[in-house]
């Protein structure tokens, strides 16, 4: 049985169905920090469909312990699917492969994981604001923590003696990273500055045991590659990829991104023994090795598929908030950008989030009064007990508030790259926003999930909201490496729960003044007219699968910024368009863009009103 393989550039090849055989059923496993999920995808009347999912708490302390949680997830899947997956005779507890004539077992296994610690990376280069900055952006495409940055142009002048290059090299020796990304110079440019950096790294390596030496990824001036390899290849596991800055005006991050992703999969996973069951086949999977991707990369692949599948002209934005990290993927104009903020999640990553975001920024989203001391204690308790569910309304609302700030943190990085066209802090118009992660999928109401997205991302104009309620996006992404048709059909039929269409005019006014008038004509001939005052949220019902004609009349000073056929752009101008329904309907967010945060004395009351308005 053949699975997706990585090419020399690190890209995942997708195998055509004819190459891998006629697959009827596929088991997808997602091993997270909190939960391990087993998902069954099968052909139903000639179409691949999601059949059932089993879930169990992750048991990560050893390989044997991990297989306990995986086994529980598979048993739960058997019960829900009404299908035998595990053998109970000659090889008890082993997965039956391939699928048998009577319907037991599966034909193939794929897997993703986000449960390993992030790669620790040091970036070394010549100029801090050019190639080094490009490398920093590149390594944030998967689970990494940037341990330090060494740049020749900083020296001791910028950082002071205690953070000069010598001090950074000494710190590197005391706490070696997993990876050093070495960059610098445009192709055909000067070689000597890069050689200076390489010589420093070689000198540092000489004091480290070989087993503790990091992998070196060279992504600099191609003319220096042979000389750099001559200095470092004998001392390090040395790898060379495309220059991140081949020209001053050109940034090419894909080589570094894919190589770091490959290292994450091939090296870190080997160091974590309890992942052996997924990587090479353990006592549960038997001899069937599963192609193992990071959940971050699988999520990115799924968003790419969605953008292509639906032909979204203005693009799609995907967010995934996990226990340990937060990811945002932007697919706009045929370009894809993924940013992963490790150590910024809703349980394991709380302490890392608090190190980057003031606590007051989190508590400002609460529809109730809470002291900073109480908020910090509740958040850190969640980190100590990551498997626990919120025990009180305060815990739930605080987790959702932390989610908003985790997303804002990652969006700030994404905007700094110039990936999202737009002005200032405003999100440019997009066609679709997709949310994944337990905090969205398990929200007590869909209104709470929608409000988190509206507050954190602040979409403008018209866009649709959807939630990955069954956690199928990473599954679809990894399926694409094995059977692209299965991935496409699961995405189209099963993966997303549409919340509805958001209408968010841009502008400011006095509280209570009319910001937008709209008329919605339903397919059955019914008509609804609504006047929406500034500062408010309104929801107009429109069931899933239905389409209505919408006429928009923004007040003077407001812009619907739709940029879609049938809607006139410009302040005070409106027009007509069609909107799609969803579980919530059509959401009119007239609170203003950028979203003004209420004053402290009125904030809890206003936050509670917003929550009630959207059905939270």
pLDDT in tens, 61-97: 666 677 888 889 999 999 999 999 988 755 556 888 8
Per-residue pLDDT band for 8 (boundaries 50, 70, 90) equals very low
- Say if residue 605's pLDDT is above 80: yes
Phi, psi dihedrals of residue 239, rounded to the nearest 5°? -135, 140
- Say if residue 158's pLDDT is above 50: no
Arithmetic mean of pLDDT, 468-488: 93
Least confident of 168-182, 308-322, 470-484: 308-322
| Distance between CA atoms of residues 335 and 342, nearest Å | 23
Cross-sheet strand order for the sheet of 527-533: 527-533, 514-521, 547-554, 575-580
Q: Which residues pair with 52 in a beta bridge?
A: 40
- Say if residue 156's pLDDT is above 50: no
What is the chain's mean pLDDT, rounded? 86
Phi, psi dihedrals of residue 409, rounded to the nearest 5°? -65, -45
Residue in 590, 592, 554, 551 with CA at minimum distance from that of residue 573: 554
Residues with Cβ within 8 Å of 448's Cβ and at least 6 positions away in sequence, in order, are: 400, 611, 614, 616
Residues with Cβ within 8 Å of 92's Cβ and at least 6 positions away in sequence, in order, are: 86
| Distance between CA atoms of residues 319 and 322, nearest Å | 10
User: How many Cβ atoms are within 10 Å of 295's Cβ, its own excluded?
Assistant: 30
Arithmetic mean of pLDDT, 325-330: 95
- pTM for the model stands at 0.90
Residue in 153, 149, 109 with CA at minimum distance from that of residue 133: 149
Residue in 398, 364, 362, 402 with CA at minimum distance from that of residue 602: 364
Alpha-carbon distances of 573 from 7, 464, 506, 517, 567, rounded to whole Å: 51, 21, 12, 11, 9
Specify the CATH class of 119-261 in words.
Answer: alpha beta
| Distance between CA atoms of residues 490 and 40, nearest Å | 11
Domains 17-116+272-290 and 119-261 belong to one CATH topology: no
The CA-based angle 484-265-309, given to 5 degrees, is 25
Which CATH superfamily groups domain 17-116+272-290? ATPase, nucleotide binding domain (3.30.420.40)
Per-residue pLDDT band for 54 (boundaries 50, 70, 90) equals very high
Max CA-CA distance within the chain? 79
Name which residue leads in pLDDT, 282 or 359.
359
Name which residue leads in pLDDT, 612 or 566.
612
| Distance between CA atoms of residues 424 and 409, nearest Å | 15
**98-129, pLDDT tens digit by residue?**
899 998 999 999 999 888 889 999 999 999 88
| Distance between CA atoms of residues 301 and 482, nearest Å | 12
For the chain, the structural domain boundaries read 17-116+272-290, 119-261, 298-338+423-613
Strand segments (E) across 302-392: 316-321, 325-332, 335-342
- Say if residue 450's pLDDT is above 60: yes
């Amino acid at each position: 049985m053949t699975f997706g393989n990585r090419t020399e550039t690190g890209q995942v090849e997708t195998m055509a169905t004819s190459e891998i055989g006629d697959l009827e059923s596929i088991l997808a496993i997602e091993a997270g920090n909190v939960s391990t999920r087993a998902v069954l995808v099968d052909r139903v009347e000639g179409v691949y469909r999601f059949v059932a999912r089993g879930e169990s708490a992750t048991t990560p302390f050893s390989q044997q312990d991990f297989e306990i949680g995986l086994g529980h997830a598979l048993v739960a899947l058997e019960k829900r699917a009404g299908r035998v997956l595990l053998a109970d005779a000659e090889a008890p507890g082993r997965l039956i492969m391939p699928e048998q004539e009577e319907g037991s077992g599966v034909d193939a296994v794929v897997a993703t994981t986000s449960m390993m610690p992030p790669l620790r990376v040091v970036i070394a280069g010549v100029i801090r604001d050019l190639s080094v900055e490009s490398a920093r952006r590149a390594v944030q495409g998967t689970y990494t923590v940037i341990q330090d940055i060494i740049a020749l142009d900083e020296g001791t002048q910028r950082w002071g003696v205690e953070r000069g290059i010598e001090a950074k090299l000494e710190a590197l020796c005391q706490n070696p990273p997993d990876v050093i990304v070495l960059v610098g110079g445009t192709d055909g440019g000067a070689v000597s500055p890069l050689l200076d950096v390489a010589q420093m790294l070689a000198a540092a390596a000489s004091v480290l045991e070989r087993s503790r030496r990091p992998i070196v990824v060279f992504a600099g001036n191609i003319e220096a590659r042979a000389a750099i390899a001559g200095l470092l290849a004998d001392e390090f596991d040395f790898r060379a990829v495309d220059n991140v800055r081949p020209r001053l005006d050109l940034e090419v991050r894909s080589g570094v991104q894919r190589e770091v992703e490959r290292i994450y999969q091939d090296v870190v996973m080997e160091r974590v023994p309890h992942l052996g069951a997924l990587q090479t086949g353990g006592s549960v999977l038997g001899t069937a090795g599963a192609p193992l991707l990071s959940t971050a990369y699988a999520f990115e692949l799924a968003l790419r598929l969605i953008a292509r599948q639906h032909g979204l002209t203005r693009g799609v934005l995907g967010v995934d908030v996990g226990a340990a990290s937060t990811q945002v993927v932007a697919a706009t104009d045929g370009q894809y950008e993924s940013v992963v903020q490790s150590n910024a999640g809703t349980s394991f990553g709380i302490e890392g989030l608090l190190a980057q975001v003031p606590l007051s920024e989190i508590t400002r989203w609460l529809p109730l009064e809470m002291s900073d001391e109480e908020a910090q204690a509740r958040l850190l308790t969640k980190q100590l007990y990551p498997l626990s569910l919120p025990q009180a309304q305060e815990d739930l609302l605080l987790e959702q508030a932390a989610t908003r700030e985790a997303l804002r943190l990652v969006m700030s990085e994404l905007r700094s790259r110039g990936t999202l066209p737009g002005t200032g802090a405003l999100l440019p118009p997009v066609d679709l926003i997709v949310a994944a992660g337990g905090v969205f999928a398990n929200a007590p109401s869909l209104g709470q999930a929608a409000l988190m997205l509206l507050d954190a991302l602040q979409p403008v104009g018209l866009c649709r909201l959807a939630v990955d309620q069954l956690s199928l996006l990473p599954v679809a992404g990894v399926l694409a490496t094995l059977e692209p048709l299965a991935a496409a059909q699961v995405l189209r039929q099963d993966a997303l729960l549409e919340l509805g269409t958001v209408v968010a005019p841009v502008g400011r006014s006095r509280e209570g003044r009319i910001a937008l008038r709209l008329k919605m004509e339903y397919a059955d001939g019914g008509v609804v007219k609504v006047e929406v005052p500034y500062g408010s949220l309104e929801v107009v019902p429109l069931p899933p699968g239905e389409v209505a004609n919408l006429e928009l009349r923004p007040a003077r000073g407001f812009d619907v910024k739709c940029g879609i056929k049938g809607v006139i752009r410009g302040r005070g101008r409106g027009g007509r368009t069609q909107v799609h329904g969803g579980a919530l309907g059509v959401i009119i967010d007239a609170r203003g863009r950028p979203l003004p945060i209420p004053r402290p004395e009125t904030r809890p009351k206003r936050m509670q009103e917003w929550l009630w308005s959207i059905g939270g």
